[in-house]
Structure 1
Amino acid sequence: MAAASCPSTSCPSAPGPSTPGPVRTLDDLPPTPFHARLAAVAAGGPFCDGYILGIVGIALPSLVQDRHLSSGGIGLVGASALLGVLAGGTLGGVVADRLGRKPLFTLNIAAFVVLSLLQAACPDLATLVLLRFLLGVAVGADYPIATAYVTEFMPRAWRGPILSGLILSWWVGYTASYAVGYLLSLLGDDFWRAGLASSAVPALLLFLMRAGLPESPRWLAQQGRIEEARAVVRRHLRADLSLGQESQGALSVMQILRSRYRGPLLFVSAFWILQSAPGFAIHTLQAQLLTQYHVPGALLGSFILTGLTVLGILPVSLGLINRVGRRPLLMSTFAVSLAGLLLLGAAPAPAEWAVFLGFTLYSVAEAAGSGLQFVYPNELFPTAIRATAMGLACSFSRLGAAFGTFLLPVGYARFGMQAMMLVAASCMLLGLLISWRWAPETTGLRLDDTPRPPAHLAAGSLSDLPERTTR
Structure 2
Amino acid sequence: MYNASERLERLPFSRFHFTLLIIGGLGLAFEALDAGIIAFILPSLREQWGLTGLQAGWIASSTYVGFLVGALLSGMLGDRFGRKVVMMWALVLFCVATFINAFATNFHEFYILRMIAGVGMGAEGAIVAPYLAEFVSSRYRGRFTGALAGFFSFGFVMSALLGYFIVPMSDDGWRWIMVIASVPVVFLLWMRRALFESPRWLEEVGRYEEASRICTEIEAQVLRSSGKPLPEPVKMSLAAKAADSAVQGAWAKLATLVKPQYLQTTLVVWVFWITVMFCYYAFLVWIPSLLVARGFAVTKSFSFTILIYLAQIPGYYSAAYFNDKIGRKYTILAYMLVSCLSALGLAFASSDQEIILLSMLLSFGMNGVIAGQYTYTSEIYPTSIRATGMGTASALARIGAIASPTIVGAAYPVLGFGGVFAMMTGVLFVGGMGILLFGKNTHGVSLEGIQQ
Give the alignment's TM-score, normalised by structure 2.
0.90
Q: How far is 1:311 from its partner? A: 2.1
Task: Give CA deviations for 1:330-363 in whole Å, capped at 9, x if unaligned.
Answer: 112121111111122126xx22122112212211
The equivalent of 1:184 in structure 2 is: 166
Q: Does residue 279 in structure 1 map to residue 280 in structure 2?
A: yes
Q: How far is 1:189 from its partner? A: 4.5
Contact 2:141 2:324 in 1 (8 A): no
C-alpha distance in 1, partners of 2:319/2:176? 34
**1:143-162 superposed matches below 5 A:** 143-162=125-144
Q: Which amino acid aligns with 1:203?
A: V
Q: 2:327 aligns with which of 308, 317, 325?
A: 325
SS of aligned partner of 1:30: coil
C-alpha distance in 2, partners of 1:305/1:451? 38
SS of aligned partner of 1:121: coil
**Alignment length, in residue pairs?**
427
The equivalent of 1:338 in structure 2 is: 340
Q: How far is 1:245 from its partner? A: 5.4
Q: Which has the higher helix share?
A: 2
Task: Give CA deviations for 1:12-39 in whole Å, capped at 9, x if unaligned.
Answer: xxxxxxxxxxx94322222232222112
Task: Give CA deviations for 1:290-334 in whole Å, capped at 9, x if unaligned.
Answer: 1111123111111221111112112223x2221132122111212
The equivalent of 2:448 in structure 1 is: 448
Contact 1:113 1:201 in 2 (8 A): yes
Task: Give CA deviations for 1:79-101 in whole Å, capped at 9, x if unaligned.
Answer: 11111111111100000000011
Q: Bigger CA drift: 78-87 or 55-64?
A: 55-64
Contact 1:116 1:200 in 2 (8 A): yes
The equivalent of 1:292 in structure 2 is: 293
C-alpha distance in 2, partners of 1:96/1:264? 20
Contact 1:224 1:245 in 2 (8 A): no
SS of aligned partner of 1:246: coil
Contact 2:204 2:243 in 1 (8 A): no
SS of aligned partner of 2:261: coil
C-alpha distance in 2, partners of 1:441/1:419? 34
The equivalent of 1:399 in structure 2 is: 399
**1:15-34 superposed matches below 5 A:** 24-34=6-16
Q: Which amino acid aligns with 1:450?
A: I
The equivalent of 1:200 in structure 2 is: 182
Q: Which amino acid aligns with 1:246?
A: K
Contact 1:334 1:366 in 2 (8 A): yes
The equivalent of 1:377 in structure 2 is: 377
In the alignment, structure 1 segments of 5+ residues that lack a partner are: 1-22, 453-471
**1:1-16 superposed matches below 5 A:** none
Q: 1:313 aligns with which of 294, 313, 316?
A: 316
**1:77-156 superposed matches below 5 A:** 77-156=59-138
C-alpha distance in 2, partners of 1:434/1:223? 33
C-alpha distance in 1, partners of 2:446/2:345? 41
Q: How far is 1:248 from its partner? A: 4.8
Q: Does residue 257 in structure 1 map to residue 258 in structure 2?
A: yes
RMSD: 2.0
The equivalent of 1:17 in structure 2 is: none
Contact 1:184 1:191 in 2 (8 A): yes
C-alpha distance in 2, partners of 1:252/1:275? 25
In the alignment, structure 2 segments of 5+ residues that lack a partner are: 221-229
SS of aligned partner of 2:54: helix
The equivalent of 2:388 in structure 1 is: 388
Contact 1:248 1:382 in 2 (8 A): no
Q: Which amino acid aligns with 2:379?
A: E
Q: Which amino acid aligns with 1:425?
A: T
The equivalent of 1:302 in structure 2 is: 305
C-alpha distance in 2, partners of 1:193/1:449? 49
Q: Bigger CA drift: 90-99 or 284-293?
A: 284-293
C-alpha distance in 2, partners of 1:322/1:184? 39
C-alpha distance in 2, partners of 1:123/1:24? 55
Contact 1:80 1:132 in 2 (8 A): yes
Q: Bigger CA drift: 252-261 or 401-410?
A: 252-261
Contact 1:284 1:405 in 2 (8 A): yes
C-alpha distance in 2, partners of 1:202/1:413? 40
The verdict on how the C-alpha distance between 1:434 and 1:448 changes in structure 2, with shifts beyond 3 A counting, is: closer
Give the alignment's TM-score, normalised by structure 1.
0.86
Contact 1:89 1:392 in 2 (8 A): yes
C-alpha distance in 1, partners of 2:12/2:418? 51
Contact 2:75 2:388 in 1 (8 A): yes
The equivalent of 1:434 in structure 2 is: 434
Contact 2:319 2:372 in 1 (8 A): no
Percent of aligned pairs with the same amino acid: 25
Runs of 4+ aligned structure 1 residues displaced above 4 Å come to 239-245
C-alpha distance in 2, partners of 1:127/1:413? 30
Q: How far is 1:368 from its partner? A: 0.7
The verdict on how the C-alpha distance between 1:168 and 1:351 changes in structure 2, with shifts beyond 3 A counting, is: same
Q: Which amino acid aligns with 2:305?
A: S
C-alpha distance in 2, partners of 1:211/1:226? 22
Task: Give CA deviations for 1:170-202 in whole Å, capped at 9, x if unaligned.
Answer: 111111111122110342354222223321133
